[in-house]
Structure 1
Amino acid sequence: MSDEYQITVEAEAFFQEQYSSIENDQYAFAYRVTLRNSGRHPARLQTRHWIITDAHGQTQEVRGDGVIGEHPHLQPGEEYSYNSGSSLRTPYGTMHGSFQMEADDGTAFDAVIPLFHLIAPRILH
C-alpha cells in the first residue's frame, strides 16, 4: 500500500507504582498513544489488536472495537492521542500491535503500533 494511506503511531509507557503490588507480582503501567495521519486520505480507527508479552514470555492478545470507547477520524496531518493502561505479573514486558483503519474511500489498512517497553524502575541495571 502506498503512503496515500498511512497512520504513524507512537507509544510511551509509564510505571504506575500506586496501582502496583510488587509483593503480589502485580505491575501496573499507563501508556500514551499518539496516532498521526501522515497519508493523503482521511481515515477512521475501527478496531485494535495488542500483543502484550511479560518477562517470562507469556503473551496476551487483546482485540477490541475502537480505543477508549472512541473511533477517532483523522484528517491528513491531524493527530489523536489517548491514555490507557495494562498490568503485568512481571516488572518488565513489551507491547505492540496494530490499529485497523478505514479511509473515507472505503480502503482498509493497518496502522502498526511499534514495540515499546513496560519497565518498572529500579528493576533493570
Structure 2
Amino acid sequence: MVSAITEGVKVTVEATYQPEFSSPHQQHFVFTYKVNIENNSAHTIQLLRRKWEIFDAGDAIKIVEGDGVVGQQPTLEPGQSHEYISGCNLKSGLGKMRGAYMMEKILDGNRFEVVIPEFQLISQIFDN
C-alpha cells in the first residue's frame, strides 16, 4: 500500500494480483487496485479527469486518460473520502503504475493536479 498527499488530498493505492483471471502461459496477468481519495483540505473538490502511466516489463509504456474514475466524477467535501476498485492487464507479471487526477475547487473553479503514487504490480511468479 502506498500513499501521497497533494494540497491536502491524500491518495492511497493497494494493488492485488488476480491469479484466477490470469493466464501466465498466454502472457496475460490481471491486477486490481483499490484507490482511496481523502479530502483533508478546507475546500470542496471534484475529481474531473485521470491520467495513468502503466509500465509493463513485457510491453511499452501505456498512457490511459479519461474523465473521472470508473464512470464517476465524485465531489468531496472537506473530510470526505471516495474509494473505488479498478484493474489492468499486463503482458508480463511485473510492472508498475502511477498517475494524476485533475481536481477542481468547487468554490472558485481553480484546477489542480493530485499525484497518484507509483505502485508495483507483481504477480505470484515474481513474489517470493
Q: Normalising by structure 2, what TM-score?
A: 0.90
Q: Which residue does the alignment assign to 2:114?
A: 111
**Contact persistence 1:72–1:80 (CA under 8 A):** yes
What is the rounded CA distance, in whole Å, between the counterparts of 2:6 and 2:20 in structure 1? 43
Shift of 1:122: 3.4
Aligned-pair Cα RMSD in Å: 1.7
- 1:34-73 to 2 correspondence within 5 Å? 34-56=36-58, 58-73=60-75
Specify every segment of 5 or more residues in structure 2 that has no aligned partner in the other structure, as ranges. Answer: none
Instruction: Name which of structure 1's ranges 6-15 and 88-97 shifts more when overlaid on structure 2.
Output: 6-15
3-state SS of the aligned residue for 1:77?
A: coil
Question: Aligned residues, how many?
Answer: 123
Identity between Structure 1 and Structure 2 (%): 37
What letter matches 1:123 in structure 2?
Answer: F
Instruction: Tell me if 1:12 matches 2:14.
Output: yes
3-state SS of the aligned residue for 2:83?
A: strand
Q: Normalising by structure 1, what TM-score?
A: 0.92
**Contact persistence 1:5–1:41 (CA under 8 A):** no
What letter matches 2:11 in structure 1?
Answer: V
Q: Which residue does the alignment assign to 1:120?
A: 123
Shift of 1:119: 0.6
Specify every segment of 5 or more residues in structure 1 that has no aligned partner in the other structure, as ranges. Answer: none
Instruction: Tell me if 1:81 matches 2:83.
Output: yes
Q: Would the alpha carbon gap of residues 90 and 4 (structure 1) be closer, same or farther in structure 2, given more than 3 Å must change?
A: closer
